[in-house]
Amino acid sequence: MHLYEVRNRTVVVVDILRATSCMVTAFAHGVESITPVANLDECRSMKTKGFVISGERDGKKVEGFDKGNSPFEYLGDQVKGLKIAFTTTNGTQAIEKSKEAKEVIIGSFLNLTTVAKYLLLGENNALIVCAGWKGRVNLEDTLFAGALVEKLKEYLGPDCDAPLAAQHLYNLAKNDMVSFLNASSHVRRLNKLNIHDDIKFCVTPDQYKVLPKLKNGVLLV
Amino acid sequence: MHLYEVRNRTVVVVDILRATSCMVTAFAHGVESITPVANLDECRSMKTKGFVISGERDGKKVEGFDKGNSPFEYLGDQVKGLKIAFTTTNGTQAIEKSKEAKEVIIGSFLNLTTVAKYLLLGENNALIVCAGWKGRVNLEDTLFAGALVEKLKEYLGPDCDAPLAAQHLYNLAKNDMVSFLNASSHVRRLNKLNIHDDIKFCVTPDQYKVLPKLKNGVLLV
């Protein structure tokens, strides 16, 4: 990420499995705000300030936390009006690193077209920040980046080869993303946690039209 | 690169267009040694010590240098027995960053199978270091990494998603790599320099069986 200009851009933060998919699902069901928090202790301390605390480390819910990292925990009437403090292995760290950007928005397959339209109407160059796995490339975030490039290709030009590679991979995978991802290291890691339904849900495009956006360190729609 | 363990590994340095393709071509035609040098001034000073000085910056031969970065400059009897000092935008920097590895070898499509066999027979884990373009991903180095993963897939397991992504891209591109690469940013940059023949040559697998290897800072076969 240090190789890319962040400052004057609209940054799309992506952590498909599962942080940004959870965030989009939560806002679609009426959550009031999500405060991304980089570390566990800080997140835990927010419980006393009226926040629901959500968190995951290495794919698992954190002990003592109210919610974990499955999008199914953020569905339905139960989440309406909640203020959530959220910390995850990769996703919230990616938001932290993007804070110098002109705008930070949250992307997932669930709000893919909404994100694409927002970028097209906006005046800033876009930077898609794939959270990956502990800093390394992962396939699912790359596929989302490719899907976004595919939607924007008539209007925007990539300035390096990473978007092109992502676009090729997305076109290869798009007809059956779940099978394509089954070989990936992160999905193999997550499959051990029995989250096959989560994965299927997280790669389903355009379920929601919300666009979470960072304002003074807090995500709102 | 800072995310990967280098120390106990055999590192394959790759800069398909065109540093490592030149190096392999040069050794196949009898060059005695190639000393990778990270900066231009140091390289220039080696002229007085009996070295042929070769170099490129931003795809172009450096003024006053004996040779540039086209593999066709390293063919034939003319290069036999030469000691070359070599500096390039990306390739020699990647070698510099790999120096802590147990072994550093030079990979290109031109010696693909030789590299694959060496890794299979060796005892170390392999790390493929794609030089890229100024630190960023490029497609041609990624395709080589994918070709190598494809050759090793029966024997070695990837420990993250980057090798898998490269393998998918290689399988997509392998029947016509030149066309596939024509869309890439680096190739578009290089096409302006009229090096179409260089590109075609550099993506031709298994022309040579040499395996350049770093010993005390100098490449030898």
- Amino acid found at A79: V
Please check whether residue A168 touches B, CB under 8 A: yes
CB contact (8 A) between residue B136 and residue A160 = yes
Subunit contact B134:A159, Cβ cutoff 8 A: no
Q: Is A3 on the interface with B (CB under 8 A)?
A: yes
- Architecture of the structural domain at B9-209: Alpha-Beta Complex (3.90)
The pLDDT value recorded for residue B204 is 97
| C-alpha dihedral (A100, A106, A107, A112), degrees to nearest 10 | -120
Cα torsion angle, B181, B183, B188, B194, sign: positive
Residue A73 has pLDDT above 90, yes or no: yes
Q: What is the pLDDT of residues A7-27, one digit of tens each?
A: 999 999 999 999 999 999 999
**Closest residue on chain B to A183 (Cα):** B164
What part of B 63-82 touches A (C-beta under 8 Å)? none
For residue B178, the model assigns a pLDDT of 92
What's the rounded Cα separation, in Å, for the pair A88 and B213? Answer: 42
Q: Which residues of A touch B169 (CB under 8 A)?
A: 165, 168-169
Check residue A60 and give its pLDDT.
Answer: 85
Specify the DSSP class assigned to residue A145. H
pLDDT at position A2, please? 81
Tokens of B157: 């397991």
Which tokens hold the place of B198? 């260089």
- Total residues belonging to chain B: 221
In this model, does residue A158 exceed pLDDT 90? no
Q: Does this model's pTM top 0.95?
A: no
Dihedral (CA of A129, A132, A136, A142) sign: negative
Contact yes or no for B17/B198 (Cβ under 8 A): yes
In a 13 Å sphere around the CA of A52, the CA atoms on its Cβ side amount to 18
The H or E element that residue B53 is part of is strand B52-57
Cβ contact B137–A3 (<8 Å)? no
Question: Which residue type sits at B79?
Answer: V
**Three state DSSP letters for B79-145:** HCCCEEEEECCCHHHHHHHCCCCCEEEEECHHHHHHHHHHHHHCCCEEEEEECCECCECCHHHHHHH
Average pLDDT over residues A190-197: 77
Which residues lie closer than 8 Å to B175 by C-beta, 6 or more apart? none
The backbone region for B98, taken as left when phi is positive above 0, alpha when psi lies in -120 to 50, beta otherwise, is alpha
Q: Domain boundaries in chain A?
A: 9-208
- Average pLDDT rounded to a whole number, residues A81-94: 91
Percent of chain A predicted with pLDDT > 70: 99
User: A139 and B161: CB-CB below 8 Å?
Assistant: yes
Residues 6+ apart with CB under 8 A from A205: A109, A110, A112, A113, A147
- Burial class from Cβ neighbours inside 10 Å (0-12, 13-18, 19+) for residue A62 reads buried
Contact A137 B165 (CB under 8 A): yes
Contact B98, B14 (CB under 8 A): no
Between A77 and A160, the more confident residue is: A77
Residue B112: per-residue pLDDT: 98
Residues of A in contact with B158 (CB under 8 A): 185
- CA A190/CA A60 separation, integer angstroms: 9
The CATH number given to A9-208 is 3.90.1560.10
Mean pLDDT, rounded, for A29-41: 95
B190 vs A contacts (CB less than 8 Å): none
- Return all residues near B199 (Cβ < 8 A) that are at least 6 apart: B17, B178, B181, B187, B190, B191
Residue from B22, B36, B31, B9 nearest B201 by CA = B22
Interface of A with B in 101-140 (CB under 8 A): 133-139
Give the closest-approach CA distance of A54 to chain B in angstroms: 27
pLDDT higher than 80, residue A194? no
Tens of pLDDT along B63-120?
999 999 999 999 999 999 999 999 988 888 889 889 899 999 999 999 999 999 999 9
Phi, psi at A168, each rounded to 5°: -60, -45
Residue of B nearest to A139 (CA): B161
**Does the beta carbon of B181 lie under 8 angstroms from any beta carbon of chain A?**
no
Rg value, chain B, Cα: 16
* B27 alpha-carbon distance from chain centroid: 13
pLDDT at residue A191 greater than cutoff 80: no
Q: In this predicted model, what pLDDT tens digit does every residue of B40-78 receive, in sequence order?
A: 999 999 999 999 999 888 878 899 999 999 999 999 999
The ipTM, to two decimals, is: 0.90
SS3 A155: coil
